[in-house]
C-alpha cells in the first residue's frame, strides 16, 4: 500500500480542521465597539530633501469603520485614517523617485490614535518611510526604507516628527 494517499488524507483532515476552526470565528460575537469613533490628530513633520528644508503640518483624521473579519484575526474593529489635506492618503508623500516608485512618511495608524492599541506596541518616534513601487500591472510592493538608505540613496533626512498623543478610549 502506498503511503501517498495516507499522507494526503492526513493533510486534508488537518487543513479542514484548521479551516473549520478559523471559519467558525466569523460566528463569534463582535468585539466591543469604541465609545469614541472619530478623532483629529494634528502633527508636524520636518525633513530635508537634497539640502532643502520642508515642513508639513497636517492632521490625521481617524474614523471607526465597523467590524471586519478575516481568517487570521477573526473579528476585529476596522478603522480608516487619512490626512485632512488629502482624504485619499494616510501618509506624507516625500518624493516621487520615478514613474514606479514613491516614498512616503507614515504618520501612525488609526488604531494607535484612537486608543485601540496595546501599550508599547507602537511608538511614533520609530515611524519610518514606506516605499511603494507601482508596476505597469498596478500591483504594489511596499517595504521600509532604513534611515541611512533614505539619506544616502535619496538625499532625505527626517529632522523631526511631532505627532498628537493618542486618546484614551472605552470599548463596550
83 vs 141, more confident = 83
Cα gap 57→164, rounded to integer Å: 12
Q: What is the mean pLDDT of residues 28-38?
A: 96
66: left (phi over 0), alpha (psi -120 to 50) or beta: left
Q: What is the mean pLDDT of residues 128-157?
A: 70
137 part of a folded domain: yes
6 part of a folded domain: no
2 part of a folded domain: no
Q: What is the mean pLDDT of residues 145-155?
A: 84
Structural domain boundaries enclosing 113: 31-162
Provide the terminal-to-terminal Cα distance of the chain, rounded to the nearest Å: 58
pLDDT at 125: 53
Dihedral (C-alpha) 111, 114, 119, 122: value to the nearest 10 degrees? Answer: 50
108 part of a folded domain: yes
Contact indicator for 34, 77 with CB cutoff of 8 Å: yes
pLDDT at 15: 46
Summarize pLDDT for 63-120 with one digit per residue, the tens.
999 999 988 879 999 999 999 998 888 888 888 887 777 888 888 889 999 999 876 6
Q: Indicate whether 49 pLDDT > 70.
A: yes
DSSP string across 131-168 = EEEE-TT--EEEEE--HHHHHHHH-EEEEEEEPPPPPP
146 part of a folded domain: yes
Cα gap 156→60, rounded to integer Å: 22
130 part of a folded domain: yes
98 part of a folded domain: yes
129 part of a folded domain: yes
Cα gap 13→63, rounded to integer Å: 41
Label residues 95-123 b or e (16+ Cβ within 10 Å = b): beeeeeebbbbebbbbbbbbbbbeeeeee
Q: Which of 23-32, 69-78, 127-136, 142-151 has the lowest mean pLDDT?
A: 127-136
Summarize pLDDT for 91-105 with one digit per residue, the tens.
888 888 877 778 888
DSSP-derived secondary structure letter, 124: G
Task: Give the chain's domain count.
Answer: 1
Phi (first) and psi of residue 128, to 5 degrees: -130, 180
Amino acid at each position: 500500500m502506498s503511503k501517498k494517499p495516507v499522507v494526503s488524507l492526513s493533510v486534508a483532515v488537518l487543513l479542514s480542521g484548521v479551516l473549520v476552526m478559523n471559519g467558525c470565528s466569523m460566528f463569534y460575537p463582535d468585539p466591543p465597539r469604541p465609545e469614541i469613533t472619530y478623532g483629529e490628530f494634528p502633527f508636524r513633520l520636518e525633513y530635508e530633501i537634497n539640502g532643502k528644508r520642508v515642513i508639513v503640518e497636517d492632521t490625521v483624521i481617524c474614523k471607526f469603520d465597523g467590524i471586519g473579519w478575516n481568517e487570521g484575526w477573526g473579528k476585529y474593529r476596522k478603522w480608516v485614517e487619512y490626512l485632512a489635506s488629502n482624504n485619499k492618503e494616510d501618509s506624507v508623500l516625500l518624493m516621487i523617485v520615478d514613474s514606479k516608485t514613491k516614498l512616503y512618511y507614515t504618520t501612525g495608524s488609526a488604531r494607535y490614535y484612537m486608543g485601540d492599541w496595546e501599550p508599547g506596541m507602537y511608538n511614533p518616534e520609530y515611524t519610518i518611510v514606506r516605499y511603494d513601487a507601482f508596476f505597469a500591472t498596478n500591483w504594489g510592493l511596499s517595504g521600509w526604507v532604513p534611515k541611512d538608505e533614505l539619506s544616502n540613496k535619496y538625499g532625505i533626512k527626517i529632522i523631526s516628527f511631532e505627532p498628537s498623543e493618542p486618546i484614551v478610549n472605552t470599548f463596550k
